[in-house]
Structure 1
Amino acid sequence: MPPTQWHEEIWSCSWCYASTHVGGEWFGIARPPYLSMEMRWERAVADSLPADVSHAFGIFDRTLCGIQEVGMSPSDYWWLPERGNACGACQSAAMVIDERWPQTMRSVDARASVAR
């Protein structure tokens, strides 16, 4: 079935977590630019997550440290890895993922949007 303006997919790389948005009204391909760790992930929220530990909401409905809970979602707030209550395993995963982005792909012009 050919894509329509009502169909949009998000492809996420499980290695570097880069996302590519395909489809939508203009059937564009949008690849957001590199973002630093402080601006890359939202804080994960779920009833079963402890309130005293801040987890990063990753991709595939999991935290960066691998927790998957029913009803978990990203919050409206950034996950800040430098905070004292940030999950250590999420911090470690964030550093590994950040190192995977090639230096040449970190500039504003490295990721682009292309319309059909």
Structure 2
Amino acid sequence: MRGERAVADGLPTDAPHAFGVFDTTLCGIQKAGMSLSDRWWLPERENACGACREVAGVIAGRWPQAMRGEGARVSVARRL
């Protein structure tokens, strides 16, 4: 379970947030102009946003087993 890290002016920097879609983090913070970082958001990091971690866990649990292997996932946001 990993995702793209969210980057935006005014986004709290104390805990990295996972990018969702449409200028919103997985935990629901919305900032105009939010983008993807070139760095991964890793939920196992001690300072990762706990609310983003919870949502990422729910999303990961919904993926079919065949889509959980290394390289199986692709960013839907990058396709938009």
In the alignment, structure 1 residue 42 sits paired with structure 2 residue 9: no
TM-score under structure 2 normalisation?
A: 0.77
What runs of 5+ residues in structure 2 fail to find an aligned partner? Answer: 74-80
Which structure would you say has the larger Rg? 1
| Alpha-carbon distance between aligned partners in 1 of 2:4 and 2:55, rounded to the nearest angstrom | 14
Corresponding residue to 1:85 among 47, 51, 54: 47
Aligned Cα root-mean-square deviation (Å): 2.0
Detail structure 1 runs of 4+ shifted over 6 Å in the superposition: none
For residues 46-70 of structure 1, the C-alpha deviation after alignment (integer angstroms, 9 at most, x for no partner) is 1111111100001222111111101
Query: How many residues are aligned here?
Result: 72
Corresponding residue to 1:101 among 63, 73, 77: 63
For residues 51-90 of structure 1, the C-alpha deviation after alignment (integer angstroms, 9 at most, x for no partner) is 1110000122211111110121111100011111100010
TM-score under structure 1 normalisation?
A: 0.55
Partner of 2:34: 72
Name whichever structure is richer in strand by fraction.
1
What runs of 5+ residues in structure 1 fail to find an aligned partner? Answer: 1-36, 112-116
Identity of aligned residues (%): 69
